[in-house]
Structure 1
Amino acid sequence: MKKFCAHRWRLKTACVVAWMLVFALSAHAGHLKASGVSAGGSITRDLQLREFGMVFHPGADGYLGANLLYFPLPSQSLLSTDYGKHEGYVLRQNFAGYFAEELGKSGWDLGVLWWIERHGWDSEDFAVFPNYGKFSLIRSVQTTGLSIARPDLNLGIAGGIQYTNPEYVGKVYEPESDTLYEWAAATWGPISAQTSFHHSSFRHARLSLNLESKKVLGGKESGPLTYLPNIDVAIYARNCDGEDSLRLFWEQNLIAQRLYAEVAVYFPDPALRFVALKYYPDPSKVISIDVTCYRKSNGDFLWGGGISMPFVRVAYNHADDIENVLGLRGTFVLQFHFGIEKIRDTFVGLNGSKATPMMTREIDTDENVKKQRREQREQEFNESRRKSNLQESSSTNSAHEITATGIVWENAK
């Protein structure tokens, strides 16, 4: 009994210490700024195209992704404006889908895609219907389009539109209206490119070199080619001045496609934005353990990290969240997520190098293939049945001969 009570006491003490640590860290959380919420639209549009670029490979049959972010402590998502600080909640929920199918026997794959995200800040926590307070901003961003690819040539092109719809914009934000953008993308081997426009106004251009050899894309499973880097260079048009900004991102395999380093640098200010070490227990990249360091504009560094599992992700002060969730920092994030891609009848996590370690079943879609496999199964069954009958007949005949021999032997006696 004493041991049981002591164990309960230690458990309660550990829980109290953990909660004290949570509240201590949340007390130093950086407040959300109105400018960060306003910039969420352009960040989301770029993030959706960046994610599609990782999905779109000739031979990719589909992708499903979904995310819902939850911030357990309201004190971590305070909004800072000229009127003071306001308690509220950050919203970020999104869905992504891409499906491709072969056009008859032409060798071309036709695909359709739809990325949608709803995000913003509101005075009350909600899943569907916001409160629309005086300092709220709720926005939805959609990216949709078509793709066509030739897997045998490792070639593909895609294009479509992006639509930004501000549901409600409070008085502390820059005015917004519904806006339509156009985008296009192309990929050939390890090289891919993107661009987007607002009518005739340039918005961004991206060049990606996916040099790392990946087994899931028909590359090497190991060796020097798997240590080649993945480089992403993007140029963005600034809204205020005529000078464009450039983002350089470098991903480097360090150990057996399980430990990776990531670096992001922004120009014209040659400032390191963030670095990260990400460990994946399996090269499919379904599970990860991350340590990140984000550099603020004043030169201070913010350390953070997180753990991602197949359906849940827990993180604190993670550089990816600071980059992509309205500039929010110093916060705990609980994320319910799903993301898996289908390439050549195998499943892989987003940007993974090998198939997931799970059993998969091939699904036939071509009627001729179905017929051939059905006939093959029937032939194998009939052959097995014929062999079984022959064995039974042979066994019966052998037993009869032994009996008959015995009878003849008795008669001779």
Structure 2
Amino acid sequence: MRILLCALFFAIFSAPTFAGHVTTAGVSAGGGATRDLQLREIGQVFHPQTSGYLGANYYYFPLPSQSKLTTEYGKHEGYILRQNFAGYFADSLGKSGWKLGILWWMERHGWDSEDFVLFPHYSKFSLIRSVQTTGFTLSRPHENFGFAGGIQYVNPEHVGKIYEPEVDTLYEWVAAVWGPISAQTSFHHSDFKHVRVTLNLESKQVLGGKSSGPLTYLPNIDVALFDRDGDKDSLRLFWEQNLIAQRLYAEALVYFPNKSLRAVGLKYYPDPSKVVSFDVTCYRKRGGDLIWGGGITMPFFRIAYNHADDIENVFGLRGTFVAQFHLGIEKILDKFVGLNGSRSTPMMTREIDTDGNVKKKRREEREKAFQETRKPSAPKEITAKGIVMEEAK
């Protein structure tokens, strides 16, 4: 633990300052990155055993000098916006054995010339966009398979003149999961946009698997193919590997046809529930330069510097600190776990009673134990030993 913390702070504070301003190309590409991120998270959340998920993030960039926008006209002072929310709820359909769920992921992001909470300034260099993914799930927990589908809606609220024009766009997506294998695809009307196959081979106790042993060291692999509108299709390969007791993980991200590693990371979780983490990451720029960074995630707060996940998902922004309100908790059966965690959270000192029969059974057990403590104890026989005195002769 101490070694990893030292490595984290060394990576953050000894790394070169690869400060880079936000670019128009990065802001324009934010819609596609967010669409894929939402579908990836839905794939992580949607298991036949999952009953709910709640996630929320609000990003704050405390260094205004590194939130500038670079355009052909120069550099512009401004504000980066990224806030998102995710919710999923599923419940059994009577005694049919099927479970029906509903989900909604939404994000609002962009760049504006002034700081704001609800109403942007909408300047000529601004771009504000919202991306929403919604749908339904249908699963059979006992057979461990399920289906999902829905729509994605991209709404450019305001697009400045320096960006490529955008219009409201509607996508369709479907997904299926069977045991450790899941598949996912999306379309724009009849045009194919992406297909993803995920192999969650790592055995996880929260999903009915093992808590230790060789099966917990199997990898989690995510492979996605994207259509690039006439350009060469892009293949994304992500590999997650448990290294030590489902607490220390290594991650690697590769894009093809560019075969070089895009990003690698080492993440330490004090508990396998993955609610708290300490990360060290390395991101490779297109020119080959390496960007070292890291971050610390707590139950409601996260702070990071040059983190590979932020560079990948926040307009390619690098060389800046991110302070983030963070929430991500999943409910699988009657246990709570962090997103993609392997065991329930440590604060669960007892199982949550969600079933009437379980409540009744546990109430009877408590009453029985209470009655046993009130039973009178069996009488004890006390034998007194006296002193025998004899008269002296």
| TM-score under structure 2 length normalisation | 0.89
Kept in 2: contact 1:236–1:246 (CA 8 A) = yes
Work out which of the residue numbers 232, 250, 260 in structure 2 matches 1:243: 232
Alignment-derived partner of residue 8 in structure 1: none
Matches within 5 A, 1:142-291: 142-239=132-229, 241-291=230-280
1:243 deviates by 2.3
Alignment-derived partner of residue 330 in structure 2: 341
**Alpha carbons of structure 1 residues 98 and 361: separation in structure 2 relative to 1, 3 Å:** farther
Letter in 1 for 2:334: D
1:346 deviates by 0.9
Alignment-derived partner of residue 99 in structure 1: 89
Q: Distance in 1 between matches of 2:159 and 2:231?
A: 26
Q: Which runs of 5+ in 2 are unaligned?
A: 1-8, 383-393
Work out which of the residue numbers 307, 317, 327 in structure 2 matches 1:318: 307
Work out which of the residue numbers 105, 111, 125 in structure 2 matches 1:121: 111
Matches within 5 A, 1:345-384: 345-359=334-348, 362-366=351-355, 383-384=371-372
Kept in 2: contact 1:124–1:131 (CA 8 A) = yes
**Alpha carbons of structure 1 residues 354 and 375: separation in structure 2 relative to 1, 3 Å:** closer
Q: Distance in 2 between matches of 1:360 and 1:142?
A: 36
**Structure exhibiting the larger radius of gyration computed from Cα positions:** 1
**Alpha carbons of structure 1 residues 79 and 216: separation in structure 2 relative to 1, 3 Å:** same
Alignment-derived partner of residue 403 in structure 1: none
**Alpha carbons of structure 1 residues 41 and 280: separation in structure 2 relative to 1, 3 Å:** same
CA displacement 1:207-230 (0-9 Å, x = unmatched):
000111111111111111111111
1:373 deviates by 5.5
Matched position secondary structure for 2:167: coil
Kept in 2: contact 1:192–1:209 (CA 8 A) = yes
Kept in 2: contact 1:162–1:180 (CA 8 A) = yes
Kept in 1: contact 2:334–2:354 (CA 8 A) = no
* Worse-matched range after superposition: 89-98 or 360-369: 360-369
CA displacement 1:60-116 (0-9 Å, x = unmatched):
111110000100011111111111111111110000011111111111111110000
Alignment-derived partner of residue 319 in structure 2: 330
Matched position secondary structure for 2:142: helix
Q: Distance in 2 between matches of 1:380 and 1:289?
A: 44
Work out which of the residue numbers 39, 44, 53 in structure 1 matches 2:34: 44
Q: Distance in 1 between matches of 2:177 and 2:349?
A: 28
Alignment-derived partner of residue 49 in structure 2: 59
Matched position secondary structure for 1:152: coil
1:363 deviates by 4.9
Alignment-derived partner of residue 288 in structure 2: 299
CA RMSD of aligned residues (A): 2.3
Alignment-derived partner of residue 385 in structure 2: none
Matched position secondary structure for 2:120: coil
1:347 deviates by 0.9
Runs of 4+ aligned structure 1 residues displaced above 2 Å come to 359-381
The structure showing larger relative contact order (alpha-carbon pairs under 8 Å, at least 6 residues apart) is: 2
| TM-score under structure 1 length normalisation | 0.85
* Worse-matched range after superposition: 364-373 or 173-182: 364-373
Letter in 2 for 1:139: R
Letter in 2 for 1:351: N
**Alpha carbons of structure 1 residues 221 and 88: separation in structure 2 relative to 1, 3 Å:** same
Work out which of the residue numbers 23, 36, 40 in structure 2 matches 1:33: 23
Alignment-derived partner of residue 90 in structure 1: 80
Q: Distance in 2 between matches of 1:91 and 1:148?
A: 34
Letter in 2 for 1:294: Y
Kept in 1: contact 2:62–2:322 (CA 8 A) = yes
Letter in 1 for 2:285: K
Q: Distance in 2 between matches of 1:285 and 1:371?
A: 32
- Greater helix fraction, Structure 1 or Structure 2: 1
Kept in 2: contact 1:346–1:360 (CA 8 A) = no
